[in-house]
């Protein structure tokens, strides 16, 4: 067992080059096969050859879902959330060619949570003095930089979180920005903030809509007498009379 033993990919059998090995729990994976895994998957080292084989077959099947996917709405700039509102599905990708990139197609119902996570970094600005040394301003000056990270939690067999950054370079400003005061936000900050909040609201309400439908479909259909209009009625999804809209509970 020398250090330089040749390694072969346990999936496709190709010989793996010197820096090309992607280690699995019980084997080796070449970088071509690794590139076909979901971009949101992060458990490779703890995965077995069998688990990787299963995921690659799911990823192949996903190509057909991508082919069926018709984006009706796009949120974001670099990495985007593309929605197929008719099929109630979405993908997250920065690719222009969806078929080639094969992004995982998810149902709205797979979303378990969405949040915009704004990361703040503070650094002191310095100035060169007469002796050529970098010194603090009096009073000290700071620069704040912000990154807008989208976190979408999902119920999926191969990953549970989709993370991506809305901005391509950090938004820098000389003053600290409070996420609670929308009116005081610098313009560029505000733009990313709005995109993030839009994604948050859109996916949250899409998921909620499906939950409400599931709940309404599961509710027993028993007619009751409406105390408001006197009709015999089956409560609607929000528990109201289907004729006069009065609350029945």
Q: Which position among 229, 234, 239, 247 is part of the footprint of Zn ion (CB under 5 A)?
A: 229
Residue 99 DSSP one-character state: H
Residue 91 DSSP one-character state: E
Q: Which position among 7, 9, 80, 102 is part of the footprint of Zn ion (CB under 5 A)?
A: 9
Q: Find the shortest distance in angstroms from Cβ 32 to Zn ion.
A: 5
Q: Find the shortest distance in angstroms from Cβ 134 to Zn ion.
A: 51
Collapsing DSSP to helix, strand or coil, 132 comes out as: coil
16 binds Zn ion (CB under 5 A): no
163 binds Zn ion (CB under 5 A): no
11 binds Zn ion (CB under 5 A): yes
Q: Nearest Cα to 146, choosing from 124, 126, 127, 121?
A: 121
Q: Find the shortest distance in angstroms from Cβ 102 to Zn ion.
A: 16
Q: x/- binding map, residues 30-69, to Zn ion, per CB under 5 A?
A: x--x------------------------------------
Strand-pair category, 89-93 with 106-107? antiparallel
DSSP state string for 23-84: EETTEEE-HHHHTTS-TT---GGG--HHHHHHHHHHHHHHHHHHHH----EEE-SSSEEEEE
Q: Encoding tokens for residue 153?
A: 């939690």
Shorter beta-carbon distance to Zn ion: residue 56 or 111:
56
Applying CB under 5 A, the residues found at the interface with Zn ion are 9, 11-12, 14, 30, 33, 226, 228-229, 241, 243-244, 246
């Amino acid at each position: 067992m020398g250090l330089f033993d040749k390694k072969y990919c346990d999936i496709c059998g190709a010989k793996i080059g010197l820096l090309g090995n992607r280690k699995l729990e019980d084997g080796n994976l070449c970088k071509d096969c690794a590139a076909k895994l979901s971009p949101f998957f992060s458990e490779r080292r703890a995965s077995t050859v069998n688990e990787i084989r299963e995921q690659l077959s799911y990823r192949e099947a996903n190509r057909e879902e991508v082919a069926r996917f018709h984006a009706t709405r796009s949120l974001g700039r670099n990495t985007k959330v593309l929605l197929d509102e008719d099929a109630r599905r979405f993908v997250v990708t920065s690719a222009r060619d969806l078929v080639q990139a094969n992004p995982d197609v998810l149902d709205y119902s797979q979303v378990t949570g969405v949040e915009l996570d704004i990361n703040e970094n503070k650094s002191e600005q310095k100035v060169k003095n007469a002796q050529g040394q970098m010194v603090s301003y009096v009073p000290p000056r700071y620069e704040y930089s912000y990154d807008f990270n989208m976190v979408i939690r999902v119920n999926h067999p191969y990953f549970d979180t989709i993370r991506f950054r809305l901005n391509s370079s950090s938004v820098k400003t000389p003053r600290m920005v409070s996420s609670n005061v929308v009116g005081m936000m610098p313009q560029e900050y505000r733009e990313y903030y709005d995109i993030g909040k839009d994604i948050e609201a859109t996916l949250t309400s899409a998921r909620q809509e499906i939950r409400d439908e599931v709940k309404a479909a599961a509710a027993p259909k028993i007619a009751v007498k409406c105390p408001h209009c006197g009709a015999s009625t089956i409560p609607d999804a929000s528990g109201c009379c289907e004729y006069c809209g009065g609350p029945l509970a």
